[in-house]
Structure 1
Amino acid sequence: MTTDAMLRAIPAKRWMYVIPVAAFMYMLAYLDRNNVSVILPYMDGALALSNADKGMVGGIFFVGYVFLQIPAAVLAQRWSARKTVVLLMIAWGLAAILSGLVQSKTQFYAARFVLGLFEGGVWPAVLILLASWFPLRERARANALWMACLPLSSILMAPLSGWMLDHASWRWVLVLQGVPPLLWAVVWWFAVADRPAQARWISRAEADHLERSIAADEAAKPAARGGSYLDAVKQRSVLVLIGVYFFWITGFYGFSLWLPSVIKELTHDGSATEVGLLTALPFTIALAVMIANAGWSDRTGKRRQAVALPLLVAIAALLLGQAVDGPYARMALLCVTAAAVYAPYGPFWAIPGQLLRFEVVAVALGLINALGNLGGFAGPYLVGWLTDATGSSVTGFTVLAAFLAVAVALVTIGLRPKEQATRRTTVEAAEEV
């Protein structure tokens, strides 16, 4: 039986159990991270926040985000991804509730920092979990379906936040939206297993096949030089990926945080519900494009192109958006930009797993995510500061386009094509089993 026939014959329950539970968990994380983007335009002078201050509120989250990346990744690999995530979920839920109780600008900064601290370890821990459930040939699709929670969260939660703002204060919105992670932690504890062999719902045939496939993937990778974490992060490809992610995420969050404010301007100060509904439209398109791009990346193995081409489209759309005046044209370009900045997620996070063995990839994932996400501080703050300094958002969004251009250059020139080739494992190479 060929490998493809074997894959079709084995029930793929992991797609129905692991992905949805992880995706909903991270939807809640993304809600607690990004709900301020909908709330900030409607705080009506509360805490006396300037545009630069609002950028700081959005960006300081990512300063806290750095600190638990590598520790959580190592805990997930050496101890348990399941247990690591449930502890972080409870901690970030409490921090999110705290954000609604602040009484000063400084307290708001501190609460957002602590929220970022506890959410920071979740991303690499889940990537470690997925690496134990999905072979490389499925990795970009698995990553993209899990990461679809990012645009999906905005599709569902931006209108919800807008509706809640029309019926309650911004404080109550933050407090109430911090409760669901505490409840979902119970679901996560009983539904998720670290490895196929530990799951009660998976068939023995599927578990055995996954273990063989993942072992073959590991065997096909080059040995880690010296076998240490330090050797892994010294690799040129890891340093390039950090750079790519930083410049991409600077543009990504600089755009995402200020999107509701731009839409509010387009609607001539529409209601929070109206702005929330319109904010969901770009993310709906982004969801479809993100999954389609990941599927193309898995089929062709062209990881570099699946990252670089969408970012080129985002650059063009960001710049055009500053040159047109009509609200419909600007809204269309916002949709294109959103789709383009989300599209690289699945392919990008499939790259480290192709280059590094499992015993060292945890630290590499944590380091890439930690340092790269500092762009989440730089982007929102730059746009806010430049808007205050120039009286217009044009300069800020032009700078974001420049950051995306650097990301394109790094992924195109900095990563050699041979490093991105999808390696055939011994299982995939076999014509019969």
Structure 2
Amino acid sequence: MKSKWLRIIPVAFVMYMLAYMDRINIGVLMPYIQKDLNISASAAGDIAGIFFIGYLLLQIPGGILATKWSAKKFIFILMILWGLAAMASGFVQTEGQLKLVRFLLGVAEGGVWPAVLVLLANWFTLQERARANAFWMACLPVSAILMAPITGMLLHHFSWKTVLILEGIPPIAWAFVWYAMIKDKPVEAEWMVEKEKHQLLQLLAAEQSQSSKSEGYAAAFKNKSVWGLVMMYFLWMTGFYGYTMWVPSVVSEFTNDPSVMGGLTAIPFTCALIGMIVNSSWSDRRMNRIQHVVIPLFIAACTMVIGQFVETPVLKMILLSITAIGVYAPYGPLWAIPTAIIPAEVAGAAMGLQNAIGNLGGYNGPKFFGVLKDLTGNYHAGFYFLALSLALAGVSTLLLGKAIPKKEISTVPTSNPKTVNSN
């Protein structure tokens, strides 16, 4: 069944890569925004983080609309709206206006993640879904690798406002590619061979008939393990987005050329992509999720602290790159943990809750990093705060690991590895 892989995954990959761009470019542009609007580091953290307040609002409604209406149409509308919001960012005149537009941008993009998960579930069987999710989520570091240098090069020729306007155009253009290429379900795909379509529909129908009926979000709220996952994810996202937001500002100290700064910023994220793939594959072979989440988080926490005692740009870049690996590497193994410790009938609701509330760490990290930068006049305290968040996320994961049955964490023969469930 190659046609669906070539038709669905690449279009979804580019779509979400353009969405993630709005979480990367703001970090590259922030030194120029701060100077132009005369705002503090704390306000800069607010501008970056308020996106995640808006992001929370459509997490649950987005999944419902995608399920009961159309993931394809819903995402198409959201792409138009977030493209317009991204372009509107380039017309702001005050700090308050930029915060408002960033909030609306977060609202528009917040419904995309759950809608894509619904779409992939309509197209890929359980045995395929982990790979489908993994290929799709690889767009996160790829977006950073590509968009940081592109934003830096554009800054070399245009103001930060013009860059935001220009980078708001691609999502609107890609929305029409999305609408033309994507179908909600295989039965609608005229490009699919009938035999292949019939076989896929039979497999999906068989899986659905055997699946347990979800008890919904009410049951997820009552489960202690779910709240453990929410807390762990919140702490991780605090460190994750705090790092992602502020690392371009650290790199900007190495050079005054924005295009060089954008290129240098791509280096840690390139390392992150490699680390993400290697760690997920290794976790699959060993069938061990906890270690492959905890160890990268502890490594990232340690290198963040060590980096505050290093002055040489080359050594700083090496430590930033190791930190990027540690921050991104847990993605694959982490999303295999919920299904191992939560009853199947509430797993979907639990992961939606985990993603919705946990992503508020995306506000917490940039905001408190900025506050500490204002209070101390340097980046040290901010990175100590992010390191503490990552370390606590690692400790939380260790505690969650005690609830995983031993059969889920034991080593299995590499000739027959179980696939990570990254949803």
TM-score, scaled to structure 2: 0.89
Tell me the equivalent position of 1:382: 368
Closer, same or farther in 2 for the Cα pair 1:217/1:50, shift >3 Å? same
* Greater alpha carbon shift after TM alignment, 101-110 vs 40-49: 40-49
Letter in 1 for 2:249: S
* Greater alpha carbon shift after TM alignment, 346-355 vs 74-83: 346-355
**Structure 1 contact 141–298 (Cα < 8 Å) conserved:** no
Q: Secondary structure at the match of 1:28?
A: helix
* Greater alpha carbon shift after TM alignment, 345-354 vs 25-34: 345-354
* 1:79 Cα offset (Å): 2.0
1:134 paired residue among 112, 119, 124 = 124
1:326 paired residue among 307, 312, 337 = 312
* Greater alpha carbon shift after TM alignment, 287-296 vs 94-103: 287-296
**Structure 1 contact 66–373 (Cα < 8 Å) conserved:** yes
Tell me the equivalent position of 2:421: none
* 1:285 Cα offset (Å): 1.4
* 1:325 Cα offset (Å): 2.2
**Structure 1 contact 317–333 (Cα < 8 Å) conserved:** yes
Tell me the equivalent position of 1:347: 333
Residue pairs, 1:74-85, within 5 angstroms: 74-85=64-75
Letter in 2 for 1:198: E
Cα distance in 2 between the residues matched to 1:401 and 1:59 = 18
* 1:320 Cα offset (Å): 1.7
Q: Which runs of 5+ in 2 are unaligned?
A: 410-415, 417-423
**Structure 1 contact 136–354 (Cα < 8 Å) conserved:** no
Cα distance in 1 between the residues matched to 2:161 and 2:23 = 15
Closer, same or farther in 2 for the Cα pair 1:356/1:23, shift >3 Å? farther
Say if 2:293 is the partner of 1:275: no
Q: Secondary structure at the match of 2:190?
A: coil
Tell me the equivalent position of 1:5: none
Provide, for residues 106-135 of structure 1, a one-character-per-residue CA deviation record: whole Å limited to 9, x for no partner.
Answer: 101101111011111111111222223333
**Structure 2 contact 236–393 (Cα < 8 Å) conserved:** yes
**Structure 2 contact 238–386 (Cα < 8 Å) conserved:** yes
Residue pairs, 1:113-152, within 5 angstroms: 113-152=103-142
Letter in 2 for 1:120: G
**Structure 1 contact 387–395 (Cα < 8 Å) conserved:** yes
* 1:12 Cα offset (Å): 2.8
TM-score, scaled to structure 1: 0.87
Cα distance in 1 between the residues matched to 2:191 and 2:347 = 28
RMSD of aligned residue pairs (Cα, Å):
2.6
Q: Which runs of 5+ in 1 are unaligned?
A: 1-10, 423-427, 429-433
Letter in 2 for 1:176: L
Letter in 2 for 1:50: S
Say if 2:240 is the partner of 1:252: yes
- Aligned-pair identity (%): 48
Residue pairs, 1:29-428, within 5 angstroms: 29-43=19-33, 45-211=35-201, 213-214=203-204, 224=214, 227-265=215-253, 267=254, 269-352=255-338, 363-415=349-401, 416-418=403-405, 421=408
* 1:136 Cα offset (Å): 3.5
Closer, same or farther in 2 for the Cα pair 1:142/1:311, shift >3 Å? farther
**Structure 2 contact 276–330 (Cα < 8 Å) conserved:** yes
Cα distance in 2 between the residues matched to 1:217 and 1:299 = 25
* 1:316 Cα offset (Å): 1.9
Letter in 1 for 2:131: R
Closer, same or farther in 2 for the Cα pair 1:326/1:206, shift >3 Å? farther
**Structure 2 contact 340–405 (Cα < 8 Å) conserved:** no
Matched residues, number:
411
**Structure 1 contact 73–363 (Cα < 8 Å) conserved:** no
Letter in 1 for 2:111: G
